[in-house]
Chains A and B, each alone.
Chain A
Amino acid sequence: MMINPMISFDIASWPPGLMMILAAFAVPWIPHVARQIWMLAAIALSAWGLSSGAGVHAVWQVMGLELVLYRADNLTFPFALIFHIAAALNVIYSWHDRKWSEHMASLSYAGAAIAAVHAGDLITLFIWWEATAITSVFLILAAGTDRAQRAAMRYLLFQVLSGVLLLAGAAVIASHSGEIGFGKMAFDGPDALGVWLVFIAFGIKAAFPFLNGWLQDAYPEATATGTVALSAFTTKLAIYALARGFAGTDMLIWIGAAMTALPVFFAVIENDLRRVLAFSLNNQLGFMVVAVGIGSELALNGAVAHAFVHILYKALLFMSMGAVLHQVGTIKASALGGLYRQMPFTMVCCIIGAMSISAFPLFSGFVAKSLTMSALGDTGIVWAYLVLLFASAGVLEHSGIKIPYFAFFAHPSGHQTGEAPIGMRVAMGIAALLCVGIGVFPAPLYAILPYAVDYHPYDVSHVTGQLQLLIFAMLAFIFLIRMKWYPPEIPSVVLNSDWFYRWLAPRVGRPLLGAVMGVWAVFLRMLVWYRDMGWAVLDRVMHAPISGPTVPGRAVMVQALLLSLLLVLGYLLLG
């Protein structure tokens, strides 16, 4: 049924997320605690809109375009559900924060991401795609430091670039077929250019290799609460978009495999623990991208399940590190350690997140990642399987061991502190319960995946195989620590693909720009010189004519010239 949303007051047919964006405008005027309840209510109301079920629920005819504002199906629902849960967790986690600005940004950002998931056409997708960029940048700016401000601008540049490419791609596609519907796309066809543009737009937000600099650059600069919100939406929206448009694209297996493996090495040596998590986020996206690239029903289930549980455990890890940052004031591994006595609850939650992301049996990562690994095994692409297995050991290294070890154990750092505010602890507790709950009872998660599932992660082969991998990798860690071969934490910065535009571009670009501007200035000076010459000649002619009277002004002279020219042209054309 098609309903014009402009006249409809039935909230269930509103695009989910829109309610949250509207509610965000009231956030500045609502006093502190009431504001949190208001936001939770808005999220609940938006989630209620999901009850409309599958189908197209809102279409807007505008300027000859048919904008599908609300399309729901098996693929949108799991993303919509987890986005609502993540939004609610953010509200609880930031309960202590009395300033309205971040709450407003966070609520509208989540709303925009949810609305984007329900966009049925490329133009609507573009609008919400950009909205996530513009709202989320305030979460980075809210940190209030010069560093954060510069990172925020670099972040915005990339996010907007992604949006512009999406719009350009949509325009190319629309100009060929007149169709702007967002569905499966093919690289071979008259729209190839448009499809490539859309693919790169998605690739920026999904943090493909070399397009990923913004992620590790900007996310760790946001506030303790802001990074948690950032970690959930933008990149998983990109995974949704890839699953919708590019399922079964072989190239994605290569790209995804590179994404799983490369960040692993960077994460080992990174000192900022939230940046370690950003590298880890990139690695996790790789698993999902590989799954989308395989494109089988099992693989797509794997991609969606992975995105679902990933949002929870990644948020949990960022929340625990945010709690440490909030309490201690730093998140540098070199300045932390020994906090397990002062923040035991945070430590337990962090370890649950760490075990979930490392895919220990009985934790959420295991039941999701097994789907992807089985699907990859079915394809027979052994190299990719081994790369992902290798990356699994990498996940254990940086997220499973490094994060909890350097924050809570390692060596005493001498910080005197206590547990985080109650809101932070409640949010971490809920996320931790969900991580374990999904790991122990995967059936409800499997029930909402895009395709019917007949999959049993808990068989002897899976469990013992995975445990062998994890336990022996942990023994390798202990071996390295005992032998004192594990690289020490050093205050430092690790170069990543943002180096090209943060270091190289200014150093090469500025001289280049200077040279171009120099040539331009010379050109302008020449133009001025020719102009002055022209007038000088004109003045000579006026004041010393070869014959006839002198002309009183330049304007008259120019008019006379133009009229003569017209006369000559007239003769030429008529004759």
Chain B
Amino acid sequence: MDEQKTALQRLGSRFTAILLAIAAVLVVLEFIFHRHGEVAAEDFPLFPALFGFLAFLFIVQVGKWLRVMIMRDEDYYDD
């Protein structure tokens, strides 16, 4: 188990490094090419990146709140 756990952690670190590299490239590209979106707001520099990042945090946060309201034990419906 422990060996598996470290293997997973190593995998995670590598994956993070790759993602950060891609993100850096995307940020550079954003200022080289002229990107224009479907709606005006999207033309704002790095709009999709910020939108994606914040939307993700928002979704997870709302999910956490929802847990208080609509999460029940597995046998809640008793069936």
Contacts and interface: CB of A to CB of B under 8 A. Distances in A.
Interface in A454-479: 460-461, 464-478
A393 B52 contact: yes
B11 to A, nearest CB: 7
B11 A409 contact: yes
A478 B59 contact: no
Q: Which 10 A-B residue pairs are closest in the complex by CB-CB distance?
A: A377-B38, A268-B63, A476-B56, A469-B52, A393-B55, A473-B52, A468-B48, A468-B49, A412-B4, A495-B70
Interface of B: 1, 4-5, 8, 11-12, 15-16, 19-20, 22-23, 26, 29-30, 33, 35-42, 46, 48-57, 59-60, 62-64, 66-67, 70-74, 76-77, 79
A147 to B, nearest CB: 6
B8 A412 contact: yes
Given A464-B33, A468-B26, A478-B16, A411 B8 contact: yes
A386 interface: yes
A487 B67 CA distance: 9
B66 A266 contact: yes
Contacts of B49: 468-469, 471-472
A338 B7 CA distance: 10
A174 interface: no
B5 A464 contact: no
Contact of B1 (A386, A390, A410, A412): A412
Contacts of A472: 23, 48-50, 52-53, 56
Interface string A8-40: 000000000000000000000000000000000
A494 B69 CA distance: 9
A487 B38 contact: no
Interface string A480-498: 1100011100111111100
B23 A471 contact: yes
Interface of A is mostly: helix
Contacts of A191: none
B60 A486 contact: yes
B8 A468 contact: no
Interface of B is mostly: helix
B76 A471 contact: no
- The listed residue with most B CB atoms (<10 A of its CB), out of A146, A382, A466, is A382
Given A409-B11, A412-B8, A468-B48, A390 B79 contact: no
B39 A382 contact: yes
Nearest to B50: A472
A176 interface: no
25 contacts: A150-B79, A265-B59, A265-B62, A268-B62, A269-B63, A269-B71, A338-B4, A338-B8, A380-B39, A389-B55, A390-B55, A412-B5, A460-B33, A460-B35, A464-B29, A468-B46, A471-B26, A471-B52, A472-B53, A472-B56, A478-B12, A478-B16, A481-B12, A492-B71, A495-B71
A396 B56 contact: yes
Interface string A360-374: 000000000000011
Given A409-B11, A468-B48, A471-B19, A492 B35 contact: no
Given A376-B38, A471-B26, A476-B57, 8 more contacts: A269-B64, A269-B71, A393-B52, A394-B55, A464-B29, A466-B48, A472-B49, A473-B56
A146 B37 contact: no
Nearest to A378: B38
Interface residues of A, number: 61
A409 B11 CA distance: 9
- The listed residue with most A CB atoms (<10 A of its CB), out of B4, B12, B20, B59, is B59
B52 A494 contact: no
Contact of B53 (A150, A412, A476): A476
Contacts of A474: 19
A414 interface: yes
Interface in A261-320: 264-266, 268-269
B60 A469 contact: no
B56 A411 contact: no
Contact of A487 (B51, B55, B60, B70): B60
Contacts of B72: 492-495
